[in-house]
Amino acid sequence: MAGQGVHRREILRILGTAAAAASFPGFSKWGFACGHVGNATLHIKPPEYRPQFFSPSEYAMIERLSEIIIPSDQTPGAKEAGVAEFIDFMIAHDPEKQYPFRTGLVWLNSHSERLHGKRFLELTPAQQLSVLEPLGFKDKARRGEELGRKFFASMREYTVTGFYTSEIGFKELGNPALKFYSESPECPHKGDPEHLHLPQTKS
Amino acid sequence: MAKQIYDVIVIGTGAGGGMAIKTLCEAGLKVCALNAGRKLDPEKDFRFHRMPWDMKFRGLGDPKGESFGYMDNEYTKAAWDHEIPFTVAPGTKWFWPRCSAVGGKTNFWGRSSARFGDIDFKAASLDGYDVDWPLTYAEIDPFYTRVEKMIGVASSVQNRPSNPDGSYLPPFNFRCLDYILEAGCRKVGVPYLPDRCAQLTQPHEGHPACHYCGECTTGCDVGAFFSSPYFLLPKAEATKNLELRTNALAKNVLVDENGKATGVAYIDRKTKQEVEVYGRAVVVAAGCVESSRIMLNSKSRRWPNGIANSSGQLGRNLCDHLYGESARGYLPQLLGQPSFPDHVADSTIAWMPRWQNLNNPHEEDFIRGYSIYPDGGCSEFPWFARGLDGFGSSFKREIKRRYPTPVNFGIQAPTLRSDKNFMDLDPEVKDPYGIPVARMHFEWDENTLKMWEHSKQICAEVLKAAGGELEGSGNAPEIPGWSLHETGTCRMGNDPKNFVTNKFGQTHDVPNLYVCDASVFLSCTDKTTTISILAFTLRTSEHMIENFRRGDLKTA
């Protein structure tokens, strides 16, 4: 193994990936459908992901929530990264999480009906945000919504995990793990060791 | 057919076993090595540059599965051994991933490689606790130098009182966060220096330089850091003096009527059959607790309490490193900066080597000392996001803005020898092959917990002095066992009544039985164990070769 080039390793990795793909449930947005593999012959892209755990209406809520948590704006978001597929897949494999997720969705629907007379997905985008903000922002929290806050925190954690473990999420952060380096990377600001005078970037 | 008799049977192929095998084979001795697991295939068993989205569970593992620690994860799951259990005494917690594959934990280790010094060997003389080691730094120094040249350690000459300098490759460059924390440390008056890292910053002895992918603890497919299968075993194989038997789970050392070692009985895990293999000498190098389990299980008329255990000390004196997150927070200076490859060495670019109790062994309210491993920056996953509030575009922007900023401080603190901490054989539970399992008895001692409290305070000061924001620390240290740095269950010493081996790792009771792992160390010190296992084993192996030459041990 010693001394083999990156090229050979890349080929082996692609072969390994293709072999493993056979055992996957057919994700439309992540895993082997991503351009990461870099080989058109390996594209495995079923027309539609079939949820393994959530019902179609539950799954639509998971999709919508993940897209609100990490939206598509100047850069791609949870939708492009297929985060709902990730959440469904993980929950399908995690019996302990199934009940809390399912009851969380039920809570959100009945809460939406209490506030606006309609189920969550039937609300306008502005109404959806007004329901979620007290759940997702500490300074907007309201009494009596503890269950909803707990569910939303869990939903946010899964969305973050699904998004930032996707290739799109790696690119969003400029994740350095996407590259190899020829020498030990070094701080480019050695004239300013305390880093008190760095150029500010637009945020 | 006459039964084959090898010169040496070596149990284990990790740092100790690998070094013993290489040294003995190169001296012309015929070696049969027994390894409890299989050979790894880097393409399947290492991470091999797979990305999270290449993995079924994004590298997080099956949610239904048990978590076994940071090295034993979805990428390398098949490389770790989950078949041989252990038990814990009431009140003991012990978390203990084990790798029985060829090369053992050297396939995945953390690579920090500081020498022990006289401050460790003579600690008892300095502070009055326990006993000194039976050797001085001057005796082991040349072996450290040879090991460093063999494996390549990146560091710098630092002139620290607790840390003898060695022979080093160029150190890793400091990242932004290192310069910032170094400035904080200077203000507080504690050291911040390049770690001693057995990871190649330049090509070395036929091994390629690191490509800084940051996946070290999931295996290096080009062998750019020291591991036994890349650095030691090929050299032994080239001599044609090695026979390596895999899936060979050592059960007990065989003895003759005088109690001398004659070989090893092992279980072939494929056929489930017990097999005997014979040698003129035996090296036990299965890792601290496993070596002691094998020796305790080697009961005979001559050795009713386990082989080489006339002192009753076999399995006693277990020490371990306390690990934990002493502080975590972020560096506002780096908010919104472009991402930077901070994770390239996967945790060991810098360290804060022991600075406590150096001028006076009692300057703190604890004795001895600990070291800190600082780390942070752009990591593979933005863990800090779990603590952020809100959602939407502002949330997404904040994650990106915070991405280069997180820092954390990990403590490595030694426990003190205690009668309460030991391993023995479980009288009831047996492994799937009928061998009694190890039973752990362990608790953190007061001295070590004081170090933990001390480290939380100092690391918080450093972070604040560096201009950072402190967010907290670990609620509690990691569970014992987590560090994988057990020591002490076959301690070396001059007095056969109180120690299992002499200063060469040769057991007092059985002159042709040697121990080559961290179990011979008197304490775990504030340093990691691997480079010392290598140096002590090189010395032990040459002592053994000399005994063969002198005729104390007869060659095949």
Q: What is the pLDDT of residues B463-486, one digit of tens each?
A: 999 999 999 999 999 999 999 999
Compute the distance between CA of residue B472 and CA of residue B276 in angstroms, rounded to an integer.
55
On the question of pLDDT at A62 being above 80, the answer is: yes
Residue A109 identity:
N
Picking from B39, B40, B45, B54 by the largest number of A CB atoms within 10 A of its own CB, the best residue to mutate is: B54
Q: How many CB pairs under 8 A join A and B?
A: 203
Give the pLDDT confidence score for residue B1 in this predicted structure: 60
Contact residues, chain A, for B62 at CB < 8 Å:
93
What is the average per-residue pLDDT within B117-145?
98
Q: How many domains does chain A have?
A: 1
A150 within some domain: yes
Give the pLDDT confidence score for residue A23 in this predicted structure: 40
On the question of pLDDT at A40 being above 50, the answer is: no
On the question of pLDDT at A6 being above 60, the answer is: no
What is the average per-residue pLDDT within A179-187?
91
Give the pLDDT confidence score for residue A148 in this predicted structure: 98
pLDDT band at B126, cuts 50/70/90? Answer: very high
On the question of pLDDT at B390 being above 80, the answer is: yes
Give the pLDDT confidence score for residue A46 in this predicted structure: 54
What is the average per-residue pLDDT within B122-146?
98
On the question of pLDDT at B525 being above 80, the answer is: yes
Report the complex ipTM. 0.93
Measured between CA atoms, how close is B149 to chain A, in angstroms?
A: 18
Burial class (CB in 10 A: 0-12, 13-18, 19+), B235: middle
A102 within some domain: yes
Quick check: A177 and B382 CB within 8 A? no
Give the pLDDT confidence score for residue A33 in this predicted structure: 35
On the question of pLDDT at A21 being above 50, the answer is: no
What is the residue-averaged pLDDT of chain B? 96
What is the residue-averaged pLDDT of chain A? 83
Closest CA to A24 of A96, A71, A79, A82: A82
pLDDT band at B244, cuts 50/70/90? Answer: very high
What is the average per-residue pLDDT within B375-402?
96
Compute the distance between CA of residue B521 and CA of residue B488 in angstroms, rounded to an integer.
5
Among the partner residues A6, A138, A200, nearest to B389 by beta-carbon distance: A138
A100 within some domain: yes
Quick check: A9 and B340 CB within 8 A? no
Picking from B181, B396, B464 by the largest number of A CB atoms within 10 A of its own CB, the best residue to mutate is: B396
Which residues have C-beta within 8 Å of that of residue B301, sequence separation ≥ 6? B257
Quick check: B53 and A36 CB within 8 A? yes
Closest CA to B282 of B540, B2, B101: B540
Measured between CA atoms, how close is A56 to chain B, in angstroms?
A: 22
Specify the long-range contacts of residues A36-40, CB closer than 8 Å, at least 24 apart: A36/A167, A36/B51, A36/B53, A36/B54, A38/A14, A39/A14
Residue A14: closest C-alpha in chain B: B50
Give the pLDDT confidence score for residue A199 in this predicted structure: 87
Compute the distance between CA of residue B233 and CA of residue B386 in angstroms, rounded to an integer.
44
Compute the distance between CA of residue B213 and CA of residue A181 in angstroms, rounded to an integer.
7
Which single residue is written with the structure tokens 């048990």?
B66
What is the average per-residue pLDDT within B325-348?
92
Give the pLDDT confidence score for residue B553 in this predicted structure: 84
Q: Give yes or no for A12 touching B (CB within 8 A).
A: yes
Closest CA to B474 of B322, B284, B334: B322
Quick check: B340 and A86 CB within 8 A? no
Q: For B66-121, write each residue's pLDDT tens digit.
A: 766 667 889 998 899 989 999 999 999 999 889 999 999 999 999 999 999 999 99
Give the pLDDT confidence score for residue A37 in this predicted structure: 40
Hey, is B48 helix, strand or coil?
A: coil
Quick check: B50 and A31 CB within 8 A? no
Contact residues, chain A, for B44 at CB < 8 Å:
16
> Which A positions 92-111 lie with beta carbon below 8 A of chain B?
93-97
What is the average per-residue pLDDT within B194-220?
95
Give the pLDDT confidence score for residue B476 in this predicted structure: 95
Give the pLDDT confidence score for residue B70 in this predicted structure: 67
Q: For B27-51, write each residue's pLDDT tens digit.
A: 999 999 999 999 999 999 999 999 9
A125 within some domain: yes
On the question of pLDDT at B191 being above 50, the answer is: yes
The residues facing B33 across adjacent strands are B10, B244
Asked if B164 and B115 touch (Cβ cutoff 8 Å), the reply is yes
Percent of chain B with pLDDT over 70: 99
Put simply, whether the predicted model's pTM sits higher than 0.90 gets the answer yes
A162 within some domain: yes
Residue B221: closest C-alpha in chain A: A1
Picking from B40, B58, B344, B391 by the largest number of A CB atoms within 10 A of its own CB, the best residue to mutate is: B391
Give the pLDDT confidence score for residue B538 in this predicted structure: 98
The dihedrals phi and psi of B369, each to the nearest 5 degrees, come to -170, 175
Q: Give yes or no for A34 touching B (CB within 8 A).
A: yes
On the question of pLDDT at B241 being above 70, the answer is: yes
> Which A positions 42-81 lie with beta carbon below 8 A of chain B?
68-71, 73, 75, 77
Asked if A28 and A89 touch (Cβ cutoff 8 Å), the reply is no
A161 within some domain: yes
Give the pLDDT confidence score for residue B320 in this predicted structure: 98
Asked if B382 and B462 touch (Cβ cutoff 8 Å), the reply is no
Residue B44: CB atoms within 10 Å:
13
Pull the structure tokens for residue B19. 């070094």
Which single residue is written with the structure tokens 């001085």?
B136
What is the average per-residue pLDDT within B506-520?
98
Q: Show the domains of chain B with their CATH numbers.
A: 5-550 (3.50.50.60)
CA A187 to chain centre: 30
Q: For B302-320, write each residue's pLDDT tens digit.
A: 999 999 999 999 999 999 9
Asked if A82 and A29 touch (Cβ cutoff 8 Å), the reply is yes
Burial class (CB in 10 A: 0-12, 13-18, 19+), B106: buried
Q: Of A22-31, B123-132, B396-405, B492-501, which range is least confident?
A: A22-31
A133 within some domain: yes
Measured between CA atoms, how close is A59 to chain B, in angstroms?
A: 19
Which single residue is written with the structure tokens 């469904």?
A88
Of A98 and A48, more confident: A98
Pull the structure tokens for residue B45. 């068993």
On the question of pLDDT at A14 being above 50, the answer is: no
Among the partner residues B339, B345, B467, nearest to A173 by beta-carbon distance: B339
Contact residues, chain A, for B400 at CB < 8 Å:
172-173, 203
Measured between CA atoms, how close is A47 to chain B, in angstroms?
A: 19
What is the average per-residue pLDDT within B222-251?
98
Q: Which helix (H) or strand (E) holds A119?
A: none
Of B295 and A26, more confident: B295
Measured between CA atoms, how close is B341 to chain A, in angstroms?
A: 5
Of A201 and A187, more confident: A187
Quick check: B51 and A170 CB within 8 A? yes
What is the average per-residue pLDDT within A127-135?
98
What is the average per-residue pLDDT within B158-164?
97
Measured between CA atoms, how close is A3 to chain B, in angstroms?
A: 6
Measured between CA atoms, how close is A117 to chain B, in angstroms?
A: 24
Give the pLDDT confidence score for residue B498 in this predicted structure: 98
Give the pLDDT confidence score for residue B465 in this predicted structure: 98
Quick check: A172 and B400 CB within 8 A? yes
What is the average per-residue pLDDT within B205-223?
94
Q: Give yes or no for A157 touching B (CB within 8 A).
A: yes
On the question of pLDDT at A3 being above 60, the answer is: no
A182 within some domain: no
Measured between CA atoms, how close is A112 to chain B, in angstroms?
A: 18
pLDDT band at B427, cuts 50/70/90? Answer: very high
Q: Of A196-200, B177-181, B289-293, B430-434, which range is least confident?
A: A196-200
Residue A107, domain extent: 56-175
